[in-house]
Amino acid sequence: MSNRAFAAGMLGILSLALFLRVPRLGLRPMHHDEANQALKFGALLELGEYRYDRTDHHGPSLYYLSLPFAWAAGAAGLEDLNEAALRRVPVAFSLALLLLLALIGKELGRPAVLGAALLWAVSPAVVYYSRFYIQESLFLFFVLGTMIWGWRYFSRPTLAGAAVCGLSAGMTFATKETCVIVFAALLGAALLVRLGYRGIRPEFGSELRMTGMHLGVFIGSAGAVAVALYSSFFRHLPGVADSVRSYFTYLERAGEPSWHAHPWFYYLKLLAFSRYGRGPVWSEALVLGLALVGIVSAFRPGRRERITSFVRFVLFYTLISTFIFSLISYKTPWNLLPFYLGVVILAGAGAAYLIERAPRPGGKAVVAVLLAAGVFHLAWQSQRSNVHYYADPRNPYVYSHTSTDFMRMVRRIQDLASLHPRGRDLLIKVVADPYSTWPLPWYLRSFSHVGYWQEAAEAGAFAGVPLVVASPEQLARLSPELGDDYQIEYYGLRPEVLVALCIEDSLWEAFLKTRKGTLPKVPP
């Protein structure tokens, strides 16, 4: 394939990826995980402060790499940013991953690279979570970088290769704690490839002699990046130790997954076939089927050894990482993406192999048309999941998501604040456990007097407080104090989670006056 044809193909794929990822980024309500990350970033943007939290947050790379995007938007604080502005960060890294794929033309073959890039551009799972302000898109970008440069070092060890691989590994470590699974899978895959070629081509990988200097460069470059980020650029050194301690926290969490517990086949079923109630059917079976073809292609005689060895490396990485992620009871749907990256690369190899092996000329055209139809179907699912089913539980990638009903409460609070003499400086007391309030702190970020408590007894007096937000459990404890002086409304925060908005009577009456004429008339 010529350079011009390959460049044109990648440009078209990037355009398609942009079309599926960028429009209407602010349509979907903030997931509580997104809002959590946003508030953490806000402290860095506004105060220049970052402290790694080993219990409730992942690595620091998301926050520091969000800074250039905020500066480019002219934002001095979170009030200057909206959902779309923050979500441009993961979108940018999801697009950048496509450019990384373009680098492995020699290892995978250019037709296979185009196939993998196209499937990555349209995959419903990939597209949906690339529009989330969470670590996943950044994590996948650095995982692929570590995979590429690790393979190149394995094939031909150099100091430069060790340094670049170390930088990628360090950024992977500084992004998310599940990097240990990825590192184990990559190392295991490299060893299996080496063992598989023993006796067939003894010189393959024989140059791999990680000398002390190479090892020092790898550890030094990886450590420099990780230490700098976890220590807040050496202003909070305990963050480095906490980055190691965090693995005990996540190990404990994996052993007690509570409602995040799912069977071992959860991820595979999610990708192969999903349907909830009378909702639509969702499936990425095309990608899974093409990946199986890609596996077959890696063991067919007569293919270029450079390509088959890399495909086998990706295969072993995919099998190991899929096994580990499936073995862990604690599962969230976005955690399938690290091993799905390998599946997509294998699928790209499978698509290229089908076209290569199809008889000329009609057979190749038929295969191309069938693949194009499958890609169109994936793109259609992606568009539907992000525009029509963006917060609908019938979308398999919607997981404990913020309800659109919750946005009614946010608008109600904003309307009420506009009627209060103090405007957005009015006092709001929120009494609930954190899980029952997120993403409220994000949506109330422009309100200056909002307090959060987990227990009603800790929140002080409530007499005269204009607005109180409470979980049903805490509302029962507040009722004697609120008495008959509040109008109470209930809203759905997320599936099976309600939140109550208590509105002080005088403010409620002022609100009703603005709605005069719109209320239904009650017959005498």
Residue-range domain boundaries for the chain: 35-387, 404-514
Strand, coil or helix: what is 285?
Answer: helix
Q: How far apart are CA 196 and CA 7, in angstroms?
A: 34
pTM of the model: 0.92
Q: Using CB atoms within 10 Å of the CB of residue 405, give its burial: 0 to 12 exposed, 13 to 18 middle, 19+ buried.
A: middle
Q: How far apart are CA 204 and CA 195, in angstroms?
A: 10
Max Cα-Cα span within the chain? 96
pLDDT tens series, the chain, 524 aa: 888 999 999 999 999 999 999 999 999 999 999 999 999 999 999 998 899 887 778 899 999 999 999 999 999 999 999 999 999 999 999 999 999 999 999 899 999 999 999 999 999 999 999 999 999 999 999 999 999 999 999 888 889 999 999 999 999 999 999 999 999 999 999 999 888 765 444 445 545 556 788 889 999 999 999 999 999 999 988 888 888 888 777 666 666 667 678 899 999 999 999 998 888 999 999 999 999 999 998 888 766 777 888 999 999 999 999 999 999 998 999 999 999 999 999 999 999 999 988 888 788 899 999 999 999 999 999 999 999 999 999 999 999 899 999 999 999 999 999 999 999 999 999 999 888 888 999 999 999 999 999 998 888 888 889 999 999 999 998 988 888 899 999 999 988 899 999 999 999 999 998 886 554 444 44
Give just the sign of the alpha carbon dihedral 126, 129, 131, 134.
Answer: negative
To 5 degrees, how large is the angle CA 338–CA 286–CA 13?
Answer: 70
Beta-bridge mates of residue 470: 431, 500
Distances (CA, A) of 284 to 17, 293, 322: 17, 15, 16
Among residues 354, 112, 393, the alpha carbon closest in space to that of 275 is found at 393
Instruction: Give the CATH architecture of domain 404-514.
Output: 3-Layer(aba) Sandwich (3.40)
